[in-house]
Structure 1
Amino acid sequence: MKKSFLFLLLLFIQFANSQTPVQELALVKKDGKYGYLTKEGTFRIEPKYKNAKNFSEGLAAVEDNGKWGFIDMKGTLVIPATFDNVKYFGSGICVVSKDKKWVYINTKGEVLTAPASEKLFDFENGVAFIKQGNKIGLMNPKMTVVLEPKYDVIKPFENGFAKVKNNDNWGIINTAGKIVVEIAYQEIGNYYKATTWAKKGESFGLVAAGKFIPVDGADKIWDFGTQDLTYARKNGKIGFIDLKGNWAILPIYDKAKAFSKNLAPVLVGSKWGYINLKGEFIIPPTYSDAETFSSNGLAPIKESNWGFINEKGKIVIPTQYGITSNGFVLSLFSDQEKGFINGVARVKNEKKWGFLKPDGTVLGNQWFDNAELFQK
């Protein structure tokens, strides 16, 4: 009976450990040194590195005496600092430079033999590009070619799909290299629910089930986001179309951004507000700029500076922060990275960077010379 109890206890501990999520850490710079912050606002790894990079797949590159190696989330150097330059891990593989040569390594630091390629590319979505001559193909993490180099261009994969180009025509493939939208369009968008926008001849429309459906009067269409509407332009004004190519909200706005939480920012004249799925203003256009709502129901809005509103339009975090860096606006990041991500928002205050919590307090009550998004 005692042995059975111990056996069950060990199984429970093993299961609990297997269910423990990998914690996200943020790379921050304080007093000229880099360290890694937890979402509790404390340092998991104290600032001590002259140079360091974000975590990816549980490993982060750090510089030691002019060479790069990799630490784990405990700060232990698990791959010795012997590299001249490094990128980020994806699918357990990283591109590194050593002795003036770029190679792939695994999480043990072992050099891998890869298919012939004129350039080494990072793994994303379980594949990496290979380049031979002027053509691009794909390989998998087993270093096996899954798509012989045949395309002039392959754009980065998003959610398992990528735009490809041959002879000035665009289409879409999946990570197995299979064509899901034929290479037949002058322009093409992202792949969302087996649908994409495209330009065919002089017409803009949607492609679904291999069929091109023109959108009445559209001369530009933007990518679908997280909802089944996207914005499009007609006669210089912006409206919203559905997955069938119908104008769900008439094009009457000067600018617009994606729907999220059933609300979308739109510009009327010089002011931004938010409309619902019927095109009705739920939050009046009073802001000089506005971004999409995050999953927690808060959206960044700008008066003289940036703050956050809830879905009823109430300002819950005062407009006293910046979200620009080195002259580049935060639109360098995706829409979902402009506000709250998994509980915190990256903001700037008096030339320092930090993280806000939804109640408006500053994570750890600390500001930094620089702060990157949380990664794991």
Structure 2
Amino acid sequence: MAATAYMVTAPAFAKTVDCQQVTGFRMPKGLDVELQSYCVFSESLAAVSKNGKWGFLDTKGNIAIPFKYDLARNFDDGLAIVRLGSKEGFINRKGKLVISIEYDEVINFSEGLAAVNREGKWGYINKDNQVIIPFEYDDTIAFDEGLAQVTKDGKQGFINKENQMVIPLIYDYAGWFSEGLGAIKLNDKYGFIDKNNNVVFFTDYYLEYAFSEDRVLVNKGRKYGFLDAEGNVAVPLIYDEVDWIEKDDITIPGFVNGIARVKKDGEWFYIDNLGQRID
């Protein structure tokens, strides 16, 4: 269903928040929950807190999962991250614990694996809580397009799901792959590589995000524009801001369905992927 934004006023001791609710939902009177951060329904449940404990509401305002966690994050692919004390794990939509609360930090599952931290080192588990990639990395992110960025001794590269180092640990920065290209920083230069570690291009511009629809947002001197997949300027760097637009359940700064929303000289408007204004 389409989403409608409401201003939900929490009790006087909590903040008023912009809470995106599904159409027709109204916070029931007397529920007295504290919406202390940006909240949104995901898979028909929303994480909220009450008296310092977190639980979940359904779209009718019922308490679907009791307020018993020290932190809870919204559901993703049927699972939600929860915390008790200093440890984290996963519950399902019925509130059943499916990954024990034993890790120092966890990241949502992606492509069947979740990054988890134990005693300062990161590894990966599957949905049966089996360790698939051992705890050997200083930092990491979720798998995307079959690869995950990992950090060791201050350098970053990429592994596959067999823990093979596909892209060596040589980069000062490595982002995730999108549309077959991964952002990197090497010797103070930003650029992109392919999955065979071939440099596609370096650029003097600062990279703002990953590729979307053959365009990547860049800035220089607080002016924004877009490069194409060969590193050429496709949209001139003349804009003061670029809006974030929803795409595939996330928001990105850039093009979605061939258009981007930009701000110039105090005015917001849309452009196509060549920088032509759309009125």
TM-score, structure 2 as length reference: 0.80
For residue 13 of structure 2, what is the aligned residue in structure 1?
none
For residue 90 of structure 1, what is the aligned residue in structure 2?
21
Distance in 1 (CA, whole Å) between partners of 2:132 and 2:185 is: 28
For residue 153 of structure 1, what is the aligned residue in structure 2?
71
Deviation at 1:160, TM superposition (A): 4.5
Distance in 2 (CA, whole Å) between partners of 1:315 and 1:180 is: 48
For residue 342 of structure 1, what is the aligned residue in structure 2?
257
Specify every segment of 5 or more residues in structure 2 that has no aligned partner in the other structure, as ranges.
8-15
For residue 84 of structure 2, what is the aligned residue in structure 1?
166
1:138 counterpart (44, 52, 56): 56
> In the superposition, relative to structure 1, how do residues 180 and 323 fare at CA in structure 2: closer, same or farther (>3 Å)?
farther
> In the superposition, relative to structure 1, how do residues 131 and 348 fare at CA in structure 2: closer, same or farther (>3 Å)?
closer
For residue 271 of structure 2, what is the aligned residue in structure 1?
356
Partner SS for 1:244: coil
Higher helix share goes to which structure? 1
Distance in 1 (CA, whole Å) between partners of 2:152 and 2:179 is: 25
Distance in 2 (CA, whole Å) between partners of 1:93 and 1:273 is: 46
Deviation at 1:297, TM superposition (A): 1.6
> In the superposition, relative to structure 1, how do residues 178 and 266 fare at CA in structure 2: closer, same or farther (>3 Å)?
same
1:190 counterpart (108, 122, 132): 108
Partner SS for 2:163: coil
> In the superposition, relative to structure 1, how do residues 336 and 272 fare at CA in structure 2: closer, same or farther (>3 Å)?
farther
Distance in 1 (CA, whole Å) between partners of 2:163 and 2:254 is: 29
Q: Is the 8 A contact 1:197 1:204 kept in 2?
A: yes
For residue 100 of structure 1, what is the aligned residue in structure 2?
none
The percent of aligned pairs where both chains have the same amino acid is 24
2:193 counterpart (265, 275, 298): 275
Q: Deviations over 1:317-370 (max 9, x none)?
A: 122223379xxxx7xx99851211233223232343332211211221xxxxxx
> In the superposition, relative to structure 1, how do residues 186 and 120 fare at CA in structure 2: closer, same or farther (>3 Å)?
closer
| Paired letter, 1:312 | E
> In the superposition, relative to structure 1, how do residues 346 and 180 fare at CA in structure 2: closer, same or farther (>3 Å)?
farther
For residue 298 of structure 1, what is the aligned residue in structure 2?
215
1:288 counterpart (206, 230, 234): 206
Q: Is the 8 A contact 1:172 1:180 kept in 2?
A: yes
Specify every segment of 5 or more residues in structure 1 that has no aligned partner in the other structure, as ranges.
1-21, 23-55, 63-84, 96-103, 105-111, 365-376
Distance in 1 (CA, whole Å) between partners of 2:93 and 2:24 is: 17
Deviation at 1:193, TM superposition (A): 2.4
Q: Deviations over 1:303-327 (max 9, x none)?
A: 44322122233321122223379xx
Larger Rg: 1
Q: Deviations over 1:229-259 (max 9, x none)?
A: 2212111011112233332211111112221
Distance in 1 (CA, whole Å) between partners of 2:251 and 2:199 is: 22
For residue 6 of structure 1, what is the aligned residue in structure 2?
none
Distance in 1 (CA, whole Å) between partners of 2:32 and 2:47 is: 9
**How many residues get paired?**
264
Distance in 2 (CA, whole Å) between partners of 1:350 and 1:130 is: 39
Alignment of 1:109-128 (within 5 A): 112=28, 116-119=31-34, 122-125=39-42, 126-128=44-46
| Paired letter, 2:106 | I
| Paired letter, 1:212 | V
Distance in 1 (CA, whole Å) between partners of 2:88 and 2:110 is: 16
| Paired letter, 1:301 | V
Deviation at 1:133, TM superposition (A): 3.7
1:233 counterpart (151, 157, 160): 151
Higher strand share goes to which structure? 2
Partner SS for 2:170: strand
